[in-house]
Amino acid sequence: MSIRNQAVVAGIGQSAIGKVPEMSALELCAQAARRAIRDAGLSLKDIDGLVTAYSMTESYPVLYGALAEFMGLELSYGVEQTAGGGTSGVMIHDAALAVISGRAKAVLVVSGDNRATGMGRDNAVSALAAWGHPEYEYPYGGFIPAYYAMIARRYMHQYGATSEDLARVAVTQRAHALRHPNAHMKTPLSLEQVLTSKWIAEPFRLFDCCLISDAAGAMVITRADRGRDLPQPPVYLLGAGEAFTHEHILAAPSLLRSGAHLAAGRAYKMAGLGPADVDFAELYDCFTITPMLLAEECGLAAPGEAAGLWQDGCAAIAGRMPINTHGGMLSHAHAGATGGLFDSIEAVEQIRGRAGERQVQRHEIALVHVEGGIMSNHSTLLYGKQPV
- Model confidence pLDDT, tens digit, residues 313-366: 999 999 999 999 999 999 999 998 999 999 999 999 999 999 999 999 999 999
pLDDT reading at 128 higher than 90? no
State phi, psi for 18 to the nearest 5 degrees: 125, -120
pLDDT reading at 120 higher than 80? no
Contacts 24+ apart (CB under 8 A), 181-184: 181/356, 182/14, 182/16, 182/17, 182/332, 183/17, 183/326, 183/327, 183/331, 183/332, 183/333, 184/17, 184/18, 184/211, 184/213, 184/215, 184/331, 184/332, 184/333
Instruction: Give the per-residue pLDDT at 314.
Output: 98
Are the beta carbons of 305 and 296 closer than 8 angstroms? yes
- Model confidence pLDDT, tens digit, residues 254-311: 999 999 999 999 999 999 999 999 999 999 999 999 999 999 999 999 999 999 999 9
pLDDT reading at 126 higher than 90? no
Instruction: Give the per-residue pLDDT at 350.
Output: 98
Are the beta carbons of 247 and 147 closer than 8 angstroms? no
Instruction: Give the per-residue pLDDT at 129.
Output: 80
> Strand 49-53 relative to strand 106-114: parallel, antiparallel, unpaired?
parallel
Q: Pinpoint the alpha helices (H) of 50-197.
A: 63-71, 87-101, 115-118, 121-130, 144-159, 163-177, 191-196
124 band by pLDDT with thresholds 50, 70 and 90? confident
CA dihedral (129, 304, 197, 376) in degrees, to 10, reads: -20
131 band by pLDDT with thresholds 50, 70 and 90? confident
pLDDT reading at 121 higher than 80? no
Instruction: Give the per-residue pLDDT at 122.
Output: 78
Instruction: Give the per-residue pLDDT at 340.
Output: 97
Q: How far is CA 176 from CA 52, 328, 340, 353, in A?
A: 28, 9, 16, 16
Q: Specify if 386 maps to a domain.
A: no
pTM (predicted TM-score): 0.97
- Cβ-in-10-Å burial (0-12, 13-18, 19+) of 169 comes to buried
Mean of pLDDT over the chain: 96
- Model confidence pLDDT, tens digit, residues 232-253: 999 999 999 999 999 999 999 9
Instruction: Give the per-residue pLDDT at 252.
Output: 96
CATH label of the domain that carries residue 223: 3.40.47.10
Instruction: Give the per-residue pLDDT at 273.
Output: 98
State phi, psi for 52 to the nearest 5 degrees: -120, 165
pLDDT reading at 108 higher than 80? yes
Q: Specify if 383 maps to a domain.
A: no
Instruction: Give the per-residue pLDDT at 332.
Output: 98
Are the beta carbons of 239 and 269 closer than 8 angstroms? yes
Q: Specify if 106 maps to a domain.
A: yes
Q: What would the mean pLDDT of 133-141 be, rounded to a whole number?
A: 92
Classify residue 281 by its DSSP letter: E
Number of domains in the chain: 1
Q: What would the mean pLDDT of 99-128 be, rounded to a whole number?
A: 90
Q: Specify if 338 maps to a domain.
A: no
Q: Specify if 324 maps to a domain.
A: no
Q: How far is CA 191 from CA 98, 151, 156, 194, in A?
A: 45, 22, 18, 5
Q: Specify if 154 maps to a domain.
A: no
Q: Specify if 104 maps to a domain.
A: yes
Q: Specify if 160 maps to a domain.
A: no
Structural domain containing residue 62: 7-118+212-227
